[in-house]
Amino acid sequence: MAKNPRKDLFPDTASMLLKNVYGAFPKPIMNIASTGMRLMMKIKKASSDDRNVLYQSSEPHRIYGETMFPAPSKKTKMAVLAGVSLGLAYMLFTNRSSNKDLL
């Protein structure tokens, strides 16, 4: 199957059955799945701490490497601010001059 992929080819009858049932009844299937997830989360009774979303992970689990874009420097921030300010000033100036033409 990986060498000769075909569209909508399912490896077994269970997945074909699930696909057809979902195609016929998408809303009830989504509601049942979300209810099941909520029920499993309630049963698990996980702690309500912040996890690692707000804090760095411990040493072996940290993400290494650089981000795709470097952090902007102060000069870059000032250039962007100046560009936005000039753009807004130009828009206000052209808007006022076009309003005078209409009156």
Question: CB under 8 Å to 19, separation ≥6 — which residues?
Answer: 10
pTM strictly above 0.75: no
Q: How far is CA 53 from CA 7, 56, 91, 102, in A?
A: 38, 8, 41, 55
Mean model confidence pLDDT for the chain? 81
What DSSP state is assigned to residue 53? S
d(CA 70, CA 32): 44
**Per-residue pLDDT, 91:** 93
**Per-residue pLDDT, 67:** 72
H helical segments located in 1-103:
13-24, 26-44, 74-102
**Per-residue pLDDT, 101:** 57
Which residue positions in the chain have pLDDT lower than 70?
1, 8-11, 45-54, 98-103
